[in-house]
Structure 1
């Protein structure tokens, strides 16, 4: 079974002390490639650095998460454009809107989002999108770029059936994480993931966040890591009513095509 983790925050400080072991465990559990998430100016540069040190296994995104939208200046835009000149950077983002926490003012979030969508237009690269509690504004901003954007994935999808269908109607891809395994917040996902076409479905851990709550035994440190992608695909396959080998092969093929990754 070969798996691709499309969203892992491997630049997070929690991975510094055992980074090589984390990668080894991921490989041992069938993860053949990963996309390291860039979510800030510094984080995007670090994601590229990590990817370049593990050519063919790790790739990177470069963008500014809405939490950090106030840092999206002209200088930041120039920095991101320079990062996107490197072939290891395979998508624009993580970018979008987050009204759940509002760590940046909403007007700043929308401006940073729009500038990164323009970056997507200019580079022709896929988009790695974030949306939380901002669906209407998110859709409105995306509509302003109708016909000009390449492929897009709404990563770490946690929304409603109506939101899912809105995204699928636009032809966008969906990233599913261990949120699926959360009996407090993710039960609705178990009912709707079967509606996602195989050619639009991808999987991710969002490590070190969102450790699947159904993993047994639960690690004492509560840190998620890419090795648990196998657990996520097993749960996802069960909810879709298909053999895990089918779900694994489909999500891997979809991710490889979406990010234009060579075979490992």
Structure 2
């Protein structure tokens, strides 16, 4: 089922209007005696406790020069993370945002684990067991689904084959994508972190200019190469990504 967590612009506009109106009301009020000293007001910006889950794009693979290391937050063996900084570290560096846990792992899937790597459900369980994913968690980002549809193979077909080959591979991937249990995964996250906003983010546009339905791959008619950029679409879902991680040397996400 499509997920879209983008805040409506009119909601943002309404909030801004209220702030402006409030400021105007204060400035227009008649001068009065200064109130007695009081305890400084708390910051109006709430603290955000943030947890990251997902595959290689969530793990920063390809964000910088290859510098793979094992994710220290998870107990699986060859659970690689890539170079930094990426959108996860940049987000965690924002004021009032703290990265409580990063459980992303290269090769992670949403469905049954067939790669020797964890499923997103297992990442959720690990984060919950470590008390990183709790009722105090405000935000969870998830990048997943690419390995379930064999993302690496599709990239290879689109890079080396014809436009028709690319379209056929992408169309087959869309059928697989319908089986990805997005709703169940989000429900599992909310079972551990009931107050969290879940942002299921997308993948880069590796082939631009021609879409195949609503697929995550795009391809130029005249060239198989195009700059990587973010995409709002991933298989069977929609989300937003602050800054895409460039594709890494691995065909597994």
Instruction: State the TM-score, normalized to the length of structure 1.
Output: 0.31
Q: 1 or 2, which has the higher helix percentage?
A: 1
Highest CA radius of gyration, 1 or 2? 2
